[in-house]
């Protein structure tokens, strides 16, 4: 049998299981009967029903502190890497996240190599390398390089903004559009972007695990619509039932000013929001669609993805009251 092929006897490690993507991926994989081990810095963030699930093992650990990794990788077939180190105060006063991203990935690779891990699946960012690439997107690419340098065969999925309730970039979009009928934006408002529905991202993440031919490959993933940020905001407003936003493009608006503006209007922590804002200058569209050959799916249009995310956000508010 191909050793890259996964069976129901194999266990899969998810690093980042308390996050936006990782949390949803865990539910998808459990739905397919996959045995999981979750590495979490703070296991109390995981739901009690998940922790009690017979298919799930939980290991407390931290990539940066190099804690729990030996235990986490024991007898693991494949691992998902769904982690970033943004947080801190702000990109403008704390650029440490890129160093932390590298250290976390290096510690992961060292432990994975020692345990003879077969496959890694990483969700990183779109964006072409060059001087103009934002620190956040450059860091995503550096992590891809580090993960690929290990012995395990690495599959890299590269995505732009993911449309789903709770995602940091989506929540920024949502709050800006819902709270500001008039927006003054710099030239990035006409930068091109290819958003993707979170359901599609999950289908690709799961599809890659179950298709060993995706091992060792890099895939750009995106939805069917390429649009500008301006168009994305207007489509979101329409999906939400709001009147079109008045978006005024101005020649000068420094990233600092834009960042403080976003801090005022959205609840996304500035240590995450600021690196994402810096990335708005970069075009993030797919340059190939090779994933279609390996994991063919129906790609969700942006408008439909926004409607689903809005409904899901409403349900969450009713359940959690936030």
Ligand X SMILES: NC(=O)c1ccc[n+]([C@@H]2O[C@H](COP(=O)([O-])OP(=O)(O)OC[C@H]3O[C@@H](n4cnc5c(N)ncnc54)[C@H](OP(=O)(O)O)[C@@H]3O)[C@@H](O)[C@H]2O)c1
Among 161, 291, 306, 310, binds ligand X (CB under 6 A): 161
Q: Using CB under 6 A, count the residues that bind ligand X.
A: 28
Q: How far is the CB of 39 from ligand X (least distance, A)?
A: 6
- Taking CB under 6 A as the binding criterion, the range among 167-175, 227-235, 285-293, 306-314 that sits at the site for ligand X is 167-175
Count Cβ atoms within 10 A of the Cβ of residue 320 and give its class: 0-12 exposed, 13-18 middle, 19 or more buried: exposed
CA angle, residues 43, 47, 52, in degrees to nearest 5:
85
Whole-angstrom distance, CA of residue 139 vs CA of residue 133: 10
In degrees and rounded to multiples of 5, residue 311 shows phi and psi of -65, -40
Among 127, 167, 186, 212, binds ligand X (CB under 6 A): 167
Identify the residue whose tokens are 């995503």: 140
Q: How far is the CB of 169 from ligand X (least distance, A)?
A: 4
Classify 73 in phi/psi space as left (phi over 0), alpha (psi -120 to 50) or beta: alpha
Residues whose CB falls within 8 Å of the CB of residue 165, separated by 6 or more in sequence, listed in order: 309, 310, 312, 313, 316
Best CA proximity match to 96, nearest among 300, 275, 319, 282: 275
Whole-angstrom distance, CA of residue 107 vs CA of residue 16: 15
Site for ligand X in 275-304 (CB under 6 A): none
Whole-angstrom distance, CA of residue 109 vs CA of residue 210: 22
Told to check if 16 binds ligand X by CB under 6 A, we report yes
Q: How far is the CB of 162 from ligand X (least distance, A)?
A: 4
Using CA of residue 123, residue 160, residue 256, residue 177, what is the dihedral sign? negative
Told to check if 19 binds ligand X by CB under 6 A, we report yes
Nearer to ligand X, 110 or 249 (CB): 110
* Contacts with ligand X, 206-245, as mask; x by CB under 6 A: ----------------------------------------
Whole-angstrom distance, CA of residue 237 vs CA of residue 226: 17
User: For 48, how many CA atoms within 13 A lie in the half-sphere containing its CB?
Assistant: 0
- Taking CB under 6 A as the binding criterion, the range among 69-77, 165-173, 185-193, 238-246 that sits at the site for ligand X is 165-173
Nearer to ligand X, 5 or 283 (CB): 283
CA distances from 183 to 230, 233, 273, 277 (A): 10, 10, 17, 15
The length of the chain in residues reads 322
Site for ligand X in 53-72 (CB under 6 A): 62-64
Among 11, 13, 14, 18, binds ligand X (CB under 6 A): 18
Whole-angstrom distance, CA of residue 74 vs CA of residue 45: 23
Told to check if 20 binds ligand X by CB under 6 A, we report yes
Q: How far is the CB of 132 from ligand X (least distance, A)?
A: 19
Told to check if 169 binds ligand X by CB under 6 A, we report yes
* Contacts with ligand X, 99-128, as mask; x by CB under 6 A: -----x------------------xxx---
- Taking CB under 6 A as the binding criterion, the range among 28-36, 40-48, 238-246, 295-303 that sits at the site for ligand X is 40-48
Q: How far is the CB of 301 from ligand X (least distance, A)?
A: 17
Among 36, 112, 144, 168, binds ligand X (CB under 6 A): 168
Q: How far is the CB of 161 from ligand X (least distance, A)?
A: 5
Told to check if 205 binds ligand X by CB under 6 A, we report no
Residues that bind ligand X (CB under 6 A): 15-16, 18-22, 41-42, 45, 62-64, 82-85, 104, 123-125, 140, 159, 161-162, 167-169
């Amino acid at each position: 049998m191909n050793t890259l092929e996964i069976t129901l006897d194999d266990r899969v490690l998810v690093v980042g299981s308390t996050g936006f993507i990782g949390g949803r991926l865990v539910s998808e994989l459990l739905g397919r009967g996959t045995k999981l081990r979750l590495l979490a810095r703070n296991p109390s963030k995981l739901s009690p029903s998940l922790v009690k699930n017979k298919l799930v093992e939980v290991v407390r650990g931290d990539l940066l502190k190099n804690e729990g990794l030996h235990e986490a990788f024991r007898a693991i077939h494949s691992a998902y890497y769904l982690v970033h180190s943004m947080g801190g105060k702000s990109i403008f006063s704390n650029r440490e996240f890129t160093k932390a991203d590298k250290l976390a990935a290096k510690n992961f690779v060292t432990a994975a190599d020692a345990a003879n891990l077969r496959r890694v699946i990483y969700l990183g960012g779109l964006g072409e390398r060059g001087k103009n690439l934002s620190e956040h997107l450059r860091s995503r690419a550096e992590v891809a390089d580090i993960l690929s340098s290990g012995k395990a065969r690495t599959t890299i999925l590269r995505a732009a903004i993911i449309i789903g309730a709770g995602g940091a970039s989506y929540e920024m979009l949502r709050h800006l559009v819902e709270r500001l009928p008039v927006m003054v934006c710099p030239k990035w408002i006409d930068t091109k972007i290819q958003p993707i529905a979170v359901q599609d991202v999950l289908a690709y993440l799961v599809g890659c695990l179950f298709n060993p031919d995706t091992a060792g490959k890099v895939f750009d993933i995106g939805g069917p619509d390429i649009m500008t940020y301006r168009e994305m905001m207007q489509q979101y407003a329409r999906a939400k039932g709001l009147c079109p936003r008045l978006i005024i493009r101005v020649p000068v608006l420094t990233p600092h000013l834009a960042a403080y503006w976003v801090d005022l209007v959205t609840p996304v922590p500035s240590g995450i929001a600021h690196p994402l804002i810096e990335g708005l200058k970069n075009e993030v569209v797919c340059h190939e669609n090779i994933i279609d050959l390996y994991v063919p799916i129906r790609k969700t249009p942006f408008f439909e993805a926004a409607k689903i995310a809005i409904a899901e956000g409403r349900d969450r508010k009713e359940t959690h009251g936030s």
